[in-house]
Amino acid sequence: MGERETLGLEAIRLLAHPLRQRIEREMRKGPVSSTSLAQALGESTGLTSYHLRQLAKHGFVEEVPGHGKGRERWWRFVPKDRRFPERSEQTPEMRAVLDEVMQRQFGADLAAFAAATVKDEQGPWAGAFPFSMGTIDVTPEELRQFFEDYIALLYKYKRPGGQASPGARTMQTRFFAYPEPEPDN
């Protein structure tokens, strides 16, 4: 597993920016320059360069030594086990930022999942998108352990850039748990 880091408000705000989220997704494919990133995202090189520097300032990306020529700089994503503070430890401001980010992200994730499941896939990927709903009866500590087990399982299947098995595709995974509503009496 990667080094664990609990994010503060400034880092959460930095990552909450929609363009930076797109940059992060693009960088998970491999190193980028501001020019290659701008082309991939349909943005200007000045804008991508600015956002790369902001992400680097907070340790989310780093320069790839010896990869660029002249003034060209190449960047790579820095993998870590990044976590948000537990809800009980969040300030009201942090909670508001996270709530907005999560609401936007969950909506985008559900739309992407729905689009993927109706796409007419062929070959080995046809029907290969698992979906599960379930319930568990756990204490807060057991739920924390369940989450840690889930994170460990994700890391078991992570492959460093370029080391994926032939035919592998990047799959988005999501985990969230919430209490079942109390019955009305």
Specify the pTM: 0.72
- Long-range contacts, stretch 86-92, CB < 8 angstroms, 24+ apart: 91/9
Q: How much of the chain, in percent, has pLDDT values that exceed 70?
A: 95
* CB contact at 8 A, 84 and 12: yes
- The domain spans of the chain are 4-82
What's the rounded mean pLDDT across residues 121-143? 84
pLDDT tens across 39-89, in order?
A: 999 999 999 999 999 999 999 999 998 876 777 899 998 888 899 999 999
∠ Cα 28 34 35 (to 5°): 110
Class of domain 4-82: mainly alpha
- The per-residue pLDDT for 116 is 79
Lookup result for tokens 């980010």: 101
Enumerate the H helices of 6-81 as residue ranges.
9-16, 18-27, 34-41, 45-57
Query: Rounded to an integer, what distance in angstroms lies between the CA atom of residue 85 and that of residue 88?
Result: 8
